[in-house]
């Protein structure tokens, strides 16, 4: 008797679990409908569930039919079930075929052509960048890069425009996923992977390298050598004294530089040092890894933790796709 009762309880639990599964949707979205995917004619809660199990990708805008999870009625795409009247999602966009019961402050951007999260009042659409940006950048100004979000993340090579992962916007305007950006910082890489411009405030590191240069005099035979450099931050040329620690830009004070034509004696002699190459060479003059890691570890004179002293970037990100 107890065995039959246990089996009955087990069946009831399975029914309750199945009912709850119907109501809550999937791990990606909380909704009350399944898509009928036109590419393979199968039923999936969302495009991510489809892409995880199939060998091809699915565009949710191509969906023309769905199935209500409350009454299992197959019908055309609409906001409410034509049979039981249940609403498929508290947020509904019939342009993107998006249904979601979770409040993520979703909104549809006509310029981007997709739904985004975070609230329409917090973002504006830049026509030249062709993407949504925080309103603070509209007030403070930003560097426009045409159709910048239509390219892939330079770190993970995944799509940016339709990604659900927030994207960091450095001053140079090139986008990369927020987790990829943080991974670069923790790995000691502070330059944009696309243009090599510094992505964060590097003034602490430049000050540290100034002290390293002052404390490390060059040997007498190299004391009079100079090098022509190109700064990757201000994009200006300058001629500076050669030093093994780094070559400092005379315009902005950055060490994010590279040599353009080797180095030569300050006296005007035509003699050129052995390591120099032709005028088209670009020998890197960025700080040595040891110096960069030491600066990141010290940060400020009162800090002893490398994580605490790691330079912080602006928290302003591109809104992810809903």
Same domain, 222 and 260: yes
* 21-25, 268-272, 310-314: the lowest-pLDDT one: 310-314
Average pLDDT over residues 9-35: 66
284-303 pLDDT, tens digit each: 444 444 444 444 444 433 33
How many domains, in total, are found in the chain?
4
Task: Give the pLDDT of residue 77.
Answer: 93
Q: Of 84, 119, 150, which residue sits at a domain end?
A: 150
| Residue 2 in domain | no
Please check whether residue 47 lies inside any domain of the structure.
Answer: yes
Same domain, 37 and 84: yes
Q: What is the mean pLDDT of residues 69-87?
A: 93
Residue 256 token pair: 């994010």
Question: Bridge-partner residues for 259, per DSSP?
Answer: 229
Is there a single domain that holds both residue 195 and residue 211?
no
Question: Does the pLDDT at position 36 exceed 70?
Answer: yes
Which residue, among 142, 144, 123, has the nearest Cα to 133 in the 3D structure? 123
Tokens of 96: 């993107």
Q: What distance in Å separates the CA atoms of residue 50 and residue 43, rounded to the nearest whole number? A: 8
pLDDT at residue 277 in the model: 37
User: Rounded to an integer, what distance in angstroms lies between the CA atom of residue 222 and that of residue 211?
Assistant: 19
The answer to whether residues 173 and 221 belong to one domain is no
Range of the domain at 117: 105-150
What pLDDT is attached to residue 267?
A: 58
Q: How far is 124 from 131, CA to CA, in rounded Å? A: 8
More reliable by pLDDT, 4 or 158: 158
Question: Which domain-ending residue is among 265, 280, 297?
Answer: 265
User: What pLDDT band is residue 23 in, cutting at 50, 70 and 90?
Assistant: low
Is 185 contained in some domain? yes
Share of residues in the chain with pLDDT > 90 (%) = 43
In a domain, 320, yes or no: no
Find, among 62, 69, 21, 2, the residue nearest to 38 by Cα: 62
Give the tokens for residue 93: 């966009």
CA-wise closest residue to 281 among 289, 273, 270: 273
pLDDT at residue 194, as a whole number: 92
Q: Indicate whether 64 belongs to any domain.
A: yes
Residue ending a domain, among 65, 81, 103, is: 103
Name the residue among 114, 81, 310 with its Cα closest to residue 204. Answer: 310
pLDDT at 31: 92
Identify whether the C-beta of residue 73 lies closer than 8 Å to the C-beta of residue 65: no
Q: What is the DSSP string of 275-322?
A: T---TT---B-SPPHHHHHHHHHHSSTT---HHHHSPPPP--EEPPB-
- Model confidence over 256-275: pLDDT tens digits? 999 888 777 765 544 444 44
Q: What is the pTM of this model?
A: 0.66
């Amino acid at each position: 008797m107890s065995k039959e009762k246990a089996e009955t309880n087990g069946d009831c639990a399975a029914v309750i679990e199945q009912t709850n599964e119907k109501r809550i949707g999937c791990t990606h979205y909380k909704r009350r409908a399944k898509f009928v995917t036109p590419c393979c004619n199968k039923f999936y809660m969302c495009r991510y569930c489809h892409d995880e199990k199939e060998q091809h990708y699915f565009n949710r805008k191509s969906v023309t039919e769905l199935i209500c999870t409350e009454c299992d009625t197959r019908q055309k795409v609409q906001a409410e079930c034509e049979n039981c009247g249940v609403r498929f999602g508290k947020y509904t966009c019939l342009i993107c075929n998006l249904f979601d019961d979770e409040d993520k402050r979703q909104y549809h951007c006509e310029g981007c052509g997709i739904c985004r999260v975070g609230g329409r009042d917090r973002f504006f659409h830049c026509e030249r960048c062709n993407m949504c940006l925080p309103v603070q950048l509209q007030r403070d100004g930003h560097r426009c890069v045409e159709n910048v979000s239509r390219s892939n993340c330079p770190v993970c090579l995944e799509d940016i425009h339709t990604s659900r992962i927030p994207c960091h916007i450095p001053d140079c305007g090139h986008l990369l996923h927020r987790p990829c950006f943080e991974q670069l910082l923790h790995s000691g890489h502070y330059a944009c992977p696309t243009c090599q411009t510094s992505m964060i405030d590097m003034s602490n590191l430049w000050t540290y390298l100034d002290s390293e240069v002052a404390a490390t005099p060059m040997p007498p035979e190299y004391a009079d050598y100079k090098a022509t450099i190109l700064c990757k931050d201000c994009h200006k040329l300058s001629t500076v004294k050669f030093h093994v620690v780094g070559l400092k830009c005379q315009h902005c004070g950055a060490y994010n530089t590279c040599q353009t034509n080797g180095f030569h004696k300050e006296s005007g002699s035509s003699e050129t040092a052995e390591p120099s190459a032709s005028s088209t060479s670009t020998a890197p003059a960025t700080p040595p890894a040891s110096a960069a890691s030491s600066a990141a570890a010290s940060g400020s004179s009162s800090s002893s933790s490398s994580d605490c002293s790691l330079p912080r970037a602006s928290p302003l990100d591109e809104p992810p796709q809903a």
